[in-house]
Amino acid sequence: MAWIEPEVTKKPRRPMFLCVLSNTKTAHIPKLSAAGKTAELTDYTPAGDAELMETGNIISVPVLPMTPPYDTPTPAIMTRSALKLTDVPYHFINSGLIVTPEVPCIDLKAKPGEDIREPIAVRDVQGIYERAKFLAKRLRNQVDHVVIGESIPGGTTTAMGVLTALGYNGSVSSSADENPLELKKRVVEEGMKASGLTFGCLKDDPMKAIACMGDPMMPAVVGLVAGFQGTDVSVVLAGGTQMAAVYALIKHLGLNTEKLAIATTRYVVEDKSASFTELTRALGVPVVYVADPGFGKSELKGLHKYETGTIKEGAGAGGAMYLAGLYGITQEDFRAEVESVCKLLKAGH
């Protein structure tokens, strides 16, 4: 297959990449997230991702965001490579971080998310949404095309929670060899019960769905999309099932979805334990871009683990590759850049 499908022909004049960084204490549930060597170390993953995307290394974070047991490098290496090759301007947005990175970040003054088994998972949803919307209004004169990614460990579980509250069945992806779907379902059931919710009961109140079952990344991305509405700015949501959940929230809020698309990796689309394609069809997503970095041809063993589905997406990797495709960068050149980032990382640690 071509490395980005469907093929993108029209190059935007002024694109921008945004990455929303958040934490949810849902990630502290043992065996739920593989985005860190231990459940507690997931607190550092978004900060580590941002430092890696910005500098090519980690600064304040004690351990590289690797997925055990093979030290598969975080998808942030793909985003770093794409941003370097394209020179697209980018911003990191702090929407509820436990650990803040040592790189410039726009702060939305959000608190980290609670465990979704608590009655309230996200505080001040409306405030986060409004501040993100204000930020987008400030940026929209500088851009004509925006790609929005995320880094939030435990985010596929909160995605499942929100989708359930909105009335969608759907298995979500995972950053683990074995997708702990049964555990995720149990956590979501307990969370729904703690908030007194039933399947689909919040389809007319998406903000409450975020407050009860979501995470602080969601109101930030939804607010950004709202802020770009009414202009010629087109938006690509960069991610898998998490961005499908965000798309559902945007749709249920009654926002315009005509200029929206989702970009992800082929590892998400081919994940047999999840139902990403069925979900995007049910939601009526206008376009889904699928990026294939072709890591099977790489000499690096850590990258091979992507091919076996050990890790699939994150830090806006699918959207960053889509941007690289827009700029005419070949799969081979992209993979070579990823390999050089990996080698530098290994040498530095």
Q: How, if at all, do strands 234-238 and 145-151 pair?
A: parallel
Domains belonging to the chain, first-starting first, are 15-348 (3.40.50.10210)
Q: Identify the three-state secondary structure at position 31.
A: coil
The model's pTM is 0.92
Q: How, if at all, do strands 66-67 and 4-5 pair?
A: unpaired
Q: pLDDT tens-digit profile of 107-151? A: 999 999 999 999 999 999 999 999 999 999 999 999 999 999 999
Distances (CA, A) of 117 to 33, 231, 240, 295: 16, 39, 23, 37
pLDDT reported for residue 255: 96
pLDDT reported for residue 174: 47
271: its two tokens? 């994940």
Q: pLDDT tens-digit profile of 231-267? A: 999 999 999 999 999 999 999 999 999 999 999 988 8
Q: Identify the three-state secondary structure at position 248.
A: helix
pLDDT bracket for residue 177 (50, 70, 90): low
Q: pLDDT tens-digit profile of 1-58? A: 579 999 877 788 999 999 999 999 999 998 876 555 667 778 988 999 999 899 888 8
**Contact indicator for 255, 166 with CB cutoff of 8 Å:** no
87: left (phi over 0), alpha (psi -120 to 50) or beta: left
Residue 261's CB is within 10 A of a number of other CB atoms, namely 20
pLDDT reported for residue 303: 76
Q: Give CA–CA dist 45/282, Å, rounded.
A: 31
